[in-house]
Structure 1
Amino acid sequence: MCAVVLTVTGVLVAVLPEPEQEGHLLPGLARARGIDLGVAVAVDPLAHDRRYRGIVEDHYTSVTAENTMKWEHVQPERGEFDWSGPDAVVDFAAENGLNVRGHTMLWHNQQPDWLAGGDWDAESLSAVVHEHVTTVMERYRGRVSAWDVINEPLEDGGPDMRRNLWYEVLGPDYIAQTLYSAHAADPDAELYINEFGIETAGPKADALYALVSDLVERGVPLHGIGFQSHFVHGNVSEDLADQMRRYTDLGLEVAVTELDVRIPEPVTDEDLREQRGEYRDVLAACLEVEGCVNVTVWGVTDAHSWIPEWFPGTDAALPFDTAYRPKPALSGMVDALSRRGGRRPAPAGDPGRRTRPAR
């Protein structure tokens, strides 16, 4: 949908669409700026809720499986894979011309009981990890463009490595081992480490940078860093672009992989107006950094958001409300992609999807 142009006393004036309409501009604007604009989707509403599905089709260029590709869902019993959920997401994306980000291979949460409670030694666990990664990635080879292979490898507050199952049994080099397995399964997929709390300078951000620098120096097949970016209203990072550049300077790409901005209740109209600027600024930060390839919103509407359950007393974190109505945050994303009111300039360059930086 295009803006209407009128002639008033010989001057051309662009009449911008209403907020409900301008959201439909997002896919074209994102592609013209050379990035994907993504959203995390859940299988059940994607299959049964026409309004939910319509929001995804009309406003985004890529999808991430919110839960269904996690280990407890895709391999609930050892050696028994359930492809129904992942297939539904990947097939939906193919039918609608959307890219797919895979999420996630190794994470300390949402593990099946047989894995979390197993009596593993290094040899047996290494074999299970290799089998899982290879089986999943080979199935979707050529259909999933990027994978969060390693999710949240650092302790919540940083800077130490998380003492998860993989670390305790395989040691710190489990990250490199898994990346090698992933690369062998799909050499064309972009392989990511995905982490939260790295959007602002500090011990955790420095620890991840040191870890990643070592992997790059060793030639491990790592291609990108995911900034989860689960923000609280009023505390959105102002140096996100600077933190991203640390990794693009290493020859990696970066992405905002799980964006939401939760608001402490009661949520006011003023909060929502300010949230518009916060969404705008996050996208503007990505556009400022050559090598930022994707911004993904973590959920389609507030009706299907993880926020109220995990962060009681906060809500309204997404660009669509519980009634599926667009919020000012949606216009904030349009602002950034169309260079309206953003605090950061957009990079020069040709439109279209960026390719993997040379290393």
Structure 2
Amino acid sequence: MLTSCSKDEDPIPAVDVPLPTKTLKESSNGFFVGMAMNSNRLDMNSYTAIIEREFESMTSEWEMKMNIILPSKGNYNWSKADKIVNYCVSKGINIHGHALIWHSSTPDWLENYSGTDAQFEQEVKEYITAVVTRYKDKVSSWDVVNEGVADQNGELRNTVFRQRMGDDYMAKCFQWAREADSDCKLFYNDYNMTSNISKQNKVFELVADWKKRNIPIDGLGYQMHISYNFPSKEQIKAATDRAVDTGLLLHYSELDIRANPNKDIIQLTAERSTAQQLKYKEVVQIYNTIPTANKFGITVWGLKDNDSWLLPHHNNTNEWPLLYDANFKAKKAYTGFLEGLQ
């Protein structure tokens, strides 16, 4: 990682950015510009005004995951997922489903399942079938499996799903999702796809195997939790080109760009704000140049800085990774995203 320049030692407040006449969604070229959101914020006009003006796709940040929908065996709680889906349908906003299977959102009852492996597999099949069927014709795409590859050595992550269902569990999940909805787009989603080559290699090995066996996968999700100074433009472009070469759709699925990864500033300086703007522009430009056949969308992982998951995750309140500041004002980052769409 690069260290900060000396100018950053004297914080300068970032300036407000005037809104352009053309919005993000109006400026996109053949792909969705999306936003991650939680259902409680859909009651707040300060959020919905921006969502409806700027974005044309929505991903549920937390509330369409298994521990929320199926907290105990047989007891489905659809309330929060329904709220998001119904809002989007009423506003004509695309919905990307996230995520059917993720090790970190496995409910306790399934993580500690006392039945046989065959019974465990049946529980997973029934869950995927129930969720995808409920939102058929409303949710146009799903992250079927999220983060199934480990960070080290390019191995499968040793989740309870792998332990109980075997190394081929992901292929089964894709097949069950396709059986429940023949039309929705099915994605594999993971992080560090532009910088961790061993993980990248394993994901592309899986994709090649699935395609060879006619396992139904339509796209790859690159989460894109990155920083203003890492990974490099060359790394991002190389990883993007590799996805394009598969013929699959590509989704930059959880984009945020940390402005303070080394915790070396206490205020978003003008210099760091500009660096973040340039990184947003760079990322969007790279995506914007891929063939239309591979384009799906870019989803920003949250609306305003102080809502970001990154602040608690890195125990750092001095972080500003998104397009809007705490007062719902567009930042230079917004301008960078817009510039990348041109």
Same fold (TM over 0.5): yes
Alpha-carbon distance change, 272 to 158 in structure 1, aligned in 2, over 3 angstroms: farther
Alpha-carbon distance change, 121 to 237 in structure 1, aligned in 2, over 3 angstroms: farther
Distance apart, 1:248 and its partner CA: 2.6
Match of 1:211 among 201, 206, 209: 206
Is the counterpart of residue 65 in structure 1 residue 60 in structure 2? yes
What is the one-letter code of the residue matched to 2:216?
P
Ranges of 4+ aligned residues in structure 1 off by more than 4 Å: none
State how 1:1-359 maps to structure 2 within 5 Å: 19-22=17-20, 25-30=23-28, 33-47=29-43, 49-200=44-195, 202-238=197-233, 239-264=235-260, 265-266=265-266, 267-290=268-291, 291-313=294-316, 315-338=319-342
Contact 1:23–1:334 (CA under 8 A) maintained in structure 2: no
Contact 2:113–2:120 (CA under 8 A) maintained in structure 1: no
Deviations 1:207-249 (A, max 9, x none): 1111111111111001100000101221134232321232332
Q: Which residue is equivalent to 1:13?
A: none
What is the one-letter code of the residue matched to 2:302?
G
What CA distance in whole angstroms lies between the structure 1 residues aligned with 2:156 and 2:115?
20
Query: TM-score scaled to structure 2, two decimals?
Result: 0.89
Moved more, 155-164 or 225-234: 155-164
Distance apart, 1:201 and its partner CA: 6.1
What is the one-letter code of the residue matched to 1:21?
L
Contact 1:144–1:189 (CA under 8 A) maintained in structure 2: yes
Distance apart, 1:68 and its partner CA: 0.4
What CA distance in whole angstroms lies between the structure 2 residues aligned with 1:73 and 1:237?
36
Distance apart, 1:251 and its partner CA: 2.1
What CA distance in whole angstroms lies between the structure 2 residues aligned with 1:282 and 1:120?
46
Contact 1:241–1:288 (CA under 8 A) maintained in structure 2: no
Q: Secondary structure at the match of 2:119?
A: helix
Alpha-carbon distance change, 51 to 157 in structure 1, aligned in 2, over 3 angstroms: farther
What CA distance in whole angstroms lies between the structure 1 residues aligned with 2:104 and 2:21?
34
Q: Which residue is equivalent to 2:5?
A: none
Contact 1:147–1:192 (CA under 8 A) maintained in structure 2: yes
Alpha-carbon distance change, 212 to 229 in structure 1, aligned in 2, over 3 angstroms: same
Aligned residues: 318
What is the one-letter code of the residue matched to 2:274?
R
Q: Which residue is equivalent to 2:9?
A: none
Contact 1:228–1:256 (CA under 8 A) maintained in structure 2: yes
What is the one-letter code of the residue matched to 2:237?
A
What CA distance in whole angstroms lies between the structure 1 residues aligned with 2:153 and 2:112?
26
What CA distance in whole angstroms lies between the structure 2 residues aligned with 1:108 and 1:123?
19
Alpha-carbon distance change, 241 to 145 in structure 1, aligned in 2, over 3 angstroms: farther
Contact 2:195–2:231 (CA under 8 A) maintained in structure 1: no
Moved more, 176-185 or 115-124: 115-124
Distance apart, 1:85 and its partner CA: 0.8
Segments of 5+ residues of structure 1 without an aligned counterpart are 1-17, 339-359
What CA distance in whole angstroms lies between the structure 1 residues aligned with 2:238 and 2:185?
22
Deviations 1:16-74 (A, max 9, x none): xx9432275211111xx101000000111122x21011111111110000000011111
Contact 1:120–1:169 (CA under 8 A) maintained in structure 2: no
Distance apart, 1:250 and its partner CA: 2.1
What CA distance in whole angstroms lies between the structure 1 residues aligned with 2:140 and 2:240?
20
What CA distance in whole angstroms lies between the structure 2 residues aligned with 1:23 and 1:203?
43
Contact 2:32–2:298 (CA under 8 A) maintained in structure 1: yes
What CA distance in whole angstroms lies between the structure 1 residues aligned with 2:106 and 2:315?
24
Contact 2:146–2:189 (CA under 8 A) maintained in structure 1: yes
